[in-house]
Amino acid sequence: METPEIAEQQRARAVAEDYRRRGYDVVEEPSPESLPDFLAGYQPDLIARRGKETVVVEVKSRKSLADEPQVRELARLLQGKEHWSFELVVVPEEKPVAPEGAQPFTREDVLRGLEEAERLVELGFSEAAMLRAWATAEAALRIIAEEEGVKLERYAPSYMLKRAVSDGIISREEYAFFITAMEHRNALVHGFSAASFDTNLVRKLIAVIKQMIGHATAAQSA
């Protein structure tokens, strides 16, 4: 079953290609550094530019739209701003279904998952290690957000990453890396391979998650 975040990402890519066909220069998932000061704190899905015109695009499912007031704030911010406009693309979503009795990973589950991912790398199964490591990444984000008092309205990874960077749980550099890792994870889970995928990406993902969990543990103990 297609998850809401996958549906959003696929629709965002299609929207980006449509803008490119119309002669726009498009930046997907623009970094915070590339945004103007008045967009500080926002993380739009796309920025499309043609001449003096700039379009800020958000691609959301109905559920994520209801959960993210920032979308409405962004629309108000851009209203009437010369040479700037806002486009909201709403995509339908299917309700994700988990097996009955499924429970979120604990901190111990995360650490065990990282050990398993490392063993898979050592055995030469880097793609399997990537999937195992990504599962621990999502769990780690949920755990740390809860410990930091950050309320997550939903658990789509793209949403959690945006909240994590906005609330200071991860750095902008870590956010950019997680986005890259997520793209590779998405490709793998849907039966695609990418030439840019290599073992070093998995090793770095494992190291970043370990660092996150380690810092959170130290903060709890202090």
Residues 84 and 138 in one domain: no
Residue 8 confidence (pLDDT): 81
The mean of the pLDDT values for the chain is 86
The answer to whether the beta carbons of residues 27 and 2 sit under 8 Å apart is no
List pLDDT tens digits, range 31-56: 888 888 888 888 899 999 999 999 99
CATH number for 22: 3.40.1350.10
Q: pLDDT > 90: what percent of the chain?
A: 42
Distance separating alpha carbons of residues 109 and 74, to the nearest angstrom: 38
The residue ranges of DSSP E strands in 32-113, in sequence order, are: 46-50, 53-61, 84-91
Residues 6+ apart with CB under 8 A from 52: 83
Domain that holds residue 206: 107-221
Q: pLDDT > 70: what percent of the chain?
A: 89
The amino acid that residue 56 corresponds to is: V
Residues 69 and 138 in one domain: no
Residues 52 and 128 in one domain: no
Domain stop point among 37, 67, 91: 91
**The total number of structural domains that make up the chain:** 2
Q: Per-residue pLDDT averaged across 53-75, rounded?
A: 81
Residue 98 confidence (pLDDT): 62
Domain stop point among 91, 124, 142: 91
Determine which of 37-41, 44-48, 175-179, 214-218 has the lowest per-residue pLDDT on average. 214-218
Query: Is residue 222's pLDDT more than 80?
Result: no
Q: Hey, how many other C-beta atoms are within 10 angstroms of the C-beta on 114?
A: 22
Query: Is residue 116's pLDDT more than 80?
Result: yes
Residues 66 and 169 in one domain: no
Helix (H, G, I), strand (E, B) or coil at 145: helix
Residues 71 and 156 in one domain: no
Question: What length does the chain have?
Answer: 222
Taking Cα atoms as reference points, which of 63, 59, 61 lies closest to residue 87?
59
